[in-house]
Structure 1
């Protein structure tokens, strides 16, 4: 994944100390943000917890899915009981 071109020009060879320091600070900030984003992606436990929280929220917002799953489970159990009694 290639990043786009840098929108800010790098300081030239005749840049002053203030310009160089500003460039260093901006680069540090960008690097910190990149490291933070990579850390978030590599935190498997946090991502799993977030996925569970998202799934719970989706289940709460869509009760029809819960009812459908309950009916499907009931139908499956009923089918197993019916098949065992036929034998």
Structure 2
């Protein structure tokens, strides 16, 4: 059984490769979170708009009945 001992240059290259992989993963996760946040904000705006339309409609109907 032969054991290969990595040289300092190999260790540094491995660390650099792992840093790149980690940076890529973090960037992908950040993008996913941002997309979800934008979607949630759009949904909240749509819900607020619907609530406003319903409120106005109820107010108009009540005023016409009185």
Q: Which has the higher contact order (CA 8 A, sep 6+)?
A: 1
> Normalised by the size of structure 2, how large is the TM-score?
0.48
Higher helix share: 2
> Normalised by the size of structure 1, how large is the TM-score?
0.37
